[in-house]
């Protein structure tokens, strides 16, 4: 298993009526030349957690940080007008919290970041992940 010291939160940058399952994102990433989905998990609006890339494999979600991180993407991130917004549902927030806590138990000392913290040109994930997940489980 590779060394993991970061969890990086992302959004799929879709509007409320658009879907972005792990299968959808896999297709989009392959169309961009990726070998597979870049994220390790996708959290859907209904709170379901879909697996993406295996944890043993480095992700393809945040250039310069993939080797030692886990990428989590939630379905959403744009409002009805296409503007960046925290569109997480209550079920997504609960699922993201559970998943993050589980991963932090598996990888003690892991810190949580938003994509925009590491790449300021991005609005993703459209909320302050560092603040929201500052305390370990």
Q: In whole angstroms, what is the distance from residue 84 CA to residue 78 CA?
A: 5
> Out of 73, 124, 126, 133, which one is annotated catalytic?
124
> Out of 11, 29, 39, 40, which one is annotated catalytic?
39
- The answer to whether 124 is a known catalytic residue is yes
> Out of 10, 40, 61, 116, which one is annotated catalytic?
10
- The answer to whether 68 is a known catalytic residue is no
- The answer to whether 10 is a known catalytic residue is yes
List the helix and strand counts (H, then E) for the chain. 4, 5
Q: In whole angstroms, what is the distance from residue 112 CA to residue 130 CA?
A: 6
The closest alpha carbon to 95, from 66, 124, 75, 77, belongs to 75
Q: Are the C-beta atoms of residues 10 and 60 closer than 8 Å to each other? A: no
> Out of 29, 40, 115, 116, which one is annotated catalytic?
115
- The answer to whether 115 is a known catalytic residue is yes
Q: In whole angstroms, what is the distance from residue 101 CA to residue 22 CA?
A: 21
Sequence-distant (6+) residues with CB within 8 A of 32 are none
- The answer to whether 29 is a known catalytic residue is no
Residues taking part in catalysis? 10, 39, 115, 121, 124
């Amino acid at each position: 298993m590779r060394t993991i010291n970061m969890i990086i939160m992302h959004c799929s940058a879709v509007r409320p009526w658009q879907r972005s399952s792990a299968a959808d994102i896999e297709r989009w990433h392959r169309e961009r030349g990726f070998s597979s989905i870049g994220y390790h998990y996708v959290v859907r609006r209904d709170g379901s957690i879909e697996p993406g890339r295996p944890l043993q494999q480095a992700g393809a979600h945040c250039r310069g940080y993939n080797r030692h991180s886990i990428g989590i993407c939630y379905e959403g991130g744009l409002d009805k007008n296409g503007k960046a917004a925290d569109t997480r549902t209550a079920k997504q927030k609960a699922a993201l919290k559970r998943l993050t806590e589980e991963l932090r138990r598996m990888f003690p000392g892991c810190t949580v970041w938003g994509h925009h913290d590491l790449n300021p040109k991005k609005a993703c994930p459209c909320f302050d992940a560092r603040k929201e997940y500052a305390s370990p489980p």
